[in-house]
Amino acid sequence: MLINIYHIIADNWLLLLIGQFPNGPLGGIAATLLLSILGIGLAFPLSILVALARLSPWPVLSWPATALVYVMRGVPLLMIIFWVYFLLPLLIGRIVPGFLAMVCTLVVYEAAFLSEIVRAGIQALPKGQMDAARALGHSHLSAMRYIILPQALYNMIPSILSQFVSTIKETTLGYVINVPELTFAASQINNQLLTQPFEVFFVLASIYFAVCWTLTQLTNWLERRIAAKRAGRGASELLVVDGVAVIKPETVQEVRQ
């Protein structure tokens, strides 16, 4: 079985990496990452607007934003992919390529989820920050722009990264509308080989795991760093904190004796 896996990778590594590019559309893990980056990258500014709208005292803004968030949270991503892929061409009168449809879907979907992260980040800041900004004479928007958002967004970096990890996994659904990404490449390989589905999908799962696990580790590391910074320690003192963690209970026992 291991030898089969080796052969699958050896024969198809380029397809898994970049799909049929440059002879065909970009695919494989490159397309998966591109989809995820575009999805999160475009959703991010949108999510800030949605979060601000949702926190706004004006119902004209807060209701549609709330509705968007609730719909996106309550409907499976697959349904939204179908809507965009089949409904959008009817509305605009042209065919929408799978890749574009998938990016649009991800942007709307992730914007809703990210906006909840942004909202939580804003609301988690001490109330005194807004009070201080208002007392100095800042308008609501100026306070958001210069005081609240810079802090909130910085604190949210780990959450945004973990949303990025979810997005990578969600791009697999692009398979149903023939978006040439990593899962699509794997299923092409499977269709060729026909007899080794376990091995093929094991390779597929391993690649996703490697990418997502790495990003999750990065997230954890960032989280620790940000927590330490928030607690008011510089980078140099971080080392000291790590040093403290090295002291094990045995050591403490020794010192006591």
H helical segments located in the chain:
2-18, 28-55, 59-74, 77-82, 88-92, 98-124, 127-136, 140-143, 149-170, 182-193, 197-230, 235-246, 249-256
Q: How many residues bind another protein (CB under 8 A)?
A: 24
Could you say whether residue 126 binds another protein (CB under 8 A)? yes
The C-alpha atoms of residue 121 and residue 48 are separated, in whole angstroms, by: 11
Q: What is the closest distance, in whole angstroms, from the C-beta atom of residue 129 to another protein in the complex? A: 6
Q: What is the closest distance, in whole angstroms, from the C-beta atom of residue 159 to another protein in the complex? A: 17
The C-alpha atoms of residue 162 and residue 168 are separated, in whole angstroms, by: 10
Q: What is the closest distance, in whole angstroms, from the C-beta atom of residue 231 to another protein in the complex? A: 8
CB nearer to another protein: pick between 45 and 150: 150
The C-alpha atoms of residue 215 and residue 165 are separated, in whole angstroms, by: 7
Q: What is the closest distance, in whole angstroms, from the C-beta atom of residue 147 to another protein in the complex? A: 5
CB nearer to another protein: pick between 96 and 133: 133
The C-alpha atoms of residue 123 and residue 38 are separated, in whole angstroms, by: 27
User: Stretches 59-67, 74-82, 125-133, 203-211: which one binds another protein (CB under 8 A)?
Assistant: 125-133
CB nearer to another protein: pick between 76 and 137: 137
Q: How many CB atoms lie within 10 A of CB 49?
A: 14
- Residue 204, CA distances (Å) to 3, 155, 159, 163, 167 in order: 16, 33, 25, 21, 16
The C-alpha atoms of residue 110 and residue 122 are separated, in whole angstroms, by: 18
Q: What is the closest distance, in whole angstroms, from the C-beta atom of residue 185 to another protein in the complex? A: 43
The tokens describing 72, both together, are: 């996106």
Q: What is the closest distance, in whole angstroms, from the C-beta atom of residue 230 to another protein in the complex? A: 8
Q: What is the closest distance, in whole angstroms, from the C-beta atom of residue 137 to another protein in the complex? A: 3
CB nearer to another protein: pick between 53 and 207: 53
Q: By rule CB under 8 A, what string of x and - marks binding of each residue 130-169 to another protein?
A: -xx-xxxxxxx-x---xx--xx--x---------------
CB nearer to another protein: pick between 156 and 168: 156
| Identity at 194, one-letter amino acid code | L
The C-alpha atoms of residue 188 and residue 79 are separated, in whole angstroms, by: 24
Could you say whether residue 57 binds another protein (CB under 8 A)? no
User: Stretches 129-137, 169-177, 205-213, 245-253: which one binds another protein (CB under 8 A)?
Assistant: 129-137
Could you say whether residue 245 binds another protein (CB under 8 A)? no
CB nearer to another protein: pick between 11 and 131: 131
The Cα diameter of the chain in Å comes to 82
Interface contacts to another protein, rule CB under 8 A: 126, 128-129, 131-132, 134-140, 142, 146-147, 150-151, 154, 229-234
